[in-house]
Amino acid sequence: MPSSDKPPLCSSYRPSPSCLVLLFLAPLVVFSLILCTLGDPRSSPWTWRVCYIFGFSDQRAVLAPSFSSFPLPQFEEKQERHRSGLGKIEASLARARLAIKEAGRVQNLTSTYDDPEYVPRGPIYRNANAFHRSYLEMERVFKIYVYEEGEVPLVHYGPCKSIYSTEGSFIHEIEMGNIYRTRDSDEAHVYFLPFSVVEMVKYLFVLNSHDMSPIGNTIADYVNVIANAHPFWNRSLGADHVMISCHDWGPYTSSFAPNLYNKSIRVLCNANTSEGFIPFKDVSYPEINLLTGEMMKGLLGGLSASRRSILAFFAGGLHGQIRPTLMEHWKDKDKDVQVYEHVPKGVDYNSMLKKSKFCLCPSGYEVASPRVVEAIYAECVPVLISDGYVPPFSDVLNWASFSVQVKVKDIPNIKKILMGISPNQYKRLQRRVKQVQRHFMVNGPPKRFDIFHMTVHSIWLRRLNLRL
């Protein structure tokens, strides 16, 4: 794969003056023909509305008319079939919305639905009953269509042994699994764009160039290919389409395709509102560092609350703007709050997690950090230090019940804040961390309610909130 920063599909051919005239006149002729054929663009039938079923305020938004959303005469029969299929899909979603809303009215910390494997219960959920019914509805009806366009390694492939492993594992499970994937595009609720930003950075980014346009242009080109080959993108302007990225550059590079950035469901590890994350339509995705690719080996468990001797712990590089502040105030300053840029020689990082009461999770270059999940695995209460970060699965998980959130401006007061949590309060927090582990587990193949299914559930909720 060439590493040139020239946008893909560009040509170095220099046209003659007659070609330039033709290039100038041709779009005008085509535009006139489209106007004559399609009539008033304001008559487009496609709108989408947003409604929230998990307690968020109602909003409505209408897509601007697009010429591409009008069926040309030769495709009318095919478009009519797509519209008929869409009607059935919307009807099934309407039934699911109603069932979930009915379940949500039951104010009970434990789900009232029978489930042989797991019944959500306790304050770790915003509404256990609504979540469980929503999850069961997802398992029953949700279908994802994966576009087949594109070639490995930029598409249909992602890293599974790196800090970006959750990106690769999700692409792999959607591609290879048969839980939610459908081969019938007309029965799909969402459409997955299986490109990997991590792989694009690897093959397209020129080191030290600071130029992300080759990546952004490749994404835009891929979206254009999809839009020209299939009717579904133009039908919703991408609102029922999904992309995933665990690279920090995911939000920015998606902006090269404006509808992808503004309307599509983006599953992002960099889930900070200051970086362009849009909570009502985007999905916050956990970042997990599986350098060996081995699932959970040696990562789970830790000491009981009474045996944890360290109040707070962090070790990590000086990435971004928050960590230098943390180092300035706490590095080598206090034996209770142990903060390191590098773990001291002879000290095991995972052992430190397992014997600390609180694990500090400051943002790195952007916001994504594997330390949140590392803390949960070690049954160490995570302390989220960030402004504007949307924690994973926060539609259904009550993060206040099992974590501590600290504003950046309060970094000097971390010890005071944590010491203010009583022993009984801490025991409750730690017990709930252990309860929530299930939803962050990486399994091969996936198991119900694990990180893969919870991510699909977050996508499912965004699709429920969208009405075409």
Q: Which of 246, 286, 283 is nearest to 372 (CA)?
A: 286
Q: Where do we find the tokens 């020209």?
A: 228
- Domains of the chain, each with CATH number or no CATH: 82-291+449-467 (no CATH), 305-440 (3.40.50.2000)
Question: What confidence score (pLDDT) does residue 52 get?
Answer: 52
Q: Which residues pair with 426 in a beta bridge?
A: none
pLDDT of residue 108: 75
- Name 141's Cβ contacts closer than 8 Å, sequence gap at least 6: 92, 96, 189
Pairing outcome for strands 310-315 and 337-340: parallel
What's the order of all strands across the beta sheet hosting 404-406? 337-340, 310-315, 356-362, 381-385, 404-406
User: How high does pLDDT run on average in the chain?
Assistant: 84
Predicted confidence at residue 178, as pLDDT, reads: 79
Secondary structure (DSSP) of 358-412: EEEEE--SSS--THHHHHHHTT-EEEEE-SSB--TTTTTB-GGGT-EEE-GGGGG
Are the CB atoms for 369 and 384 separated by under 8 Å?
Answer: no
How large is the average pLDDT for residues 449-464? 98
pLDDT confidence bin for 70, thresholds 50/70/90:
very low
pLDDT at residue 2 is higher than 50 = no
Helix ranges (DSSP H) in 197-321: 197-204, 213-229, 232-236, 250-254, 258-262
pLDDT, residue 296, reads 65
Average pLDDT over residues 30-37: 39
Element spanning 2, H or E: none
Q: What whole-number distance in Å separates Cα of residue 202 and Cα of residue 206? A: 9
Residue 41 has pLDDT above 60, yes or no: no
What are residue 272's phi and psi, to 5 degrees? -115, 130
Q: For the residues 120-140, what does the mean pLDDT come to?
A: 96
Compute the Cα dihedral for 105, 108, 112, 118 and give only its sign: positive
> What pLDDT digit, counting tens, does each position of 213-225 carry?
999 999 999 999 9
User: Which of 280, 196, 311 lies closest to 464, judged by CA?
Assistant: 280
pLDDT digits (tens, 9 = 90+) for 320-356: 789 999 999 999 999 999 999 999 999 999 999 999 9
What is the average per-residue pLDDT within 297-326?
Answer: 90
Read off the tokens for 379: 């049954």
Comparing 172 with 13, the larger pLDDT belongs to 172
- Which pLDDT value is given to residue 438? 96
Return the percentage of the chain with pLDDT > 70, whole number: 79
Q: Which pLDDT band, with edges at 50, 70 and 90, does 319 fall under? A: confident
**C-alpha span between 222 and 149 (Å, rounded):** 8
Binned at pLDDT 50, 70 and 90, residue 155 comes out as very high
The tens digit of pLDDT for each residue in 182-216 reads: 999 999 999 999 999 999 999 999 998 989 999 99
Please report the pLDDT score of residue 278 as a whole number: 96
Among 283-287, 368-372, 382-386, where is mean pLDDT lowest? 368-372
Find all residues with CB under 8 Å of 150, minimum gap 6, and list them: 156, 194, 195, 222, 225
Over range 348-376, report the average pLDDT: 89
Segment 401-428 mean pLDDT: 97
Per-residue 3-state assignment (H helix, E strand, C coil) for 128-142: HHHHHHHHHHHHHHC
CA separation for the pair 244, 195 (Å, rounded): 8
In the three-class reduction of DSSP (H, G, I as helix; E, B as strand; rest coil), residue 7 is classed as coil
Say yes or no to pLDDT of 23 above 80.
Answer: no
Distances (CA, A) of 461 to 53, 65, 126, 257, 303: 8, 26, 14, 23, 36
Burial class (CB in 10 A: 0-12, 13-18, 19+), 169: buried
Task: State if pTM tops 0.75.
Answer: yes
pLDDT of residue 293: 52
What confidence tier does 51 reach under pLDDT thresholds 50, 70, 90? very low
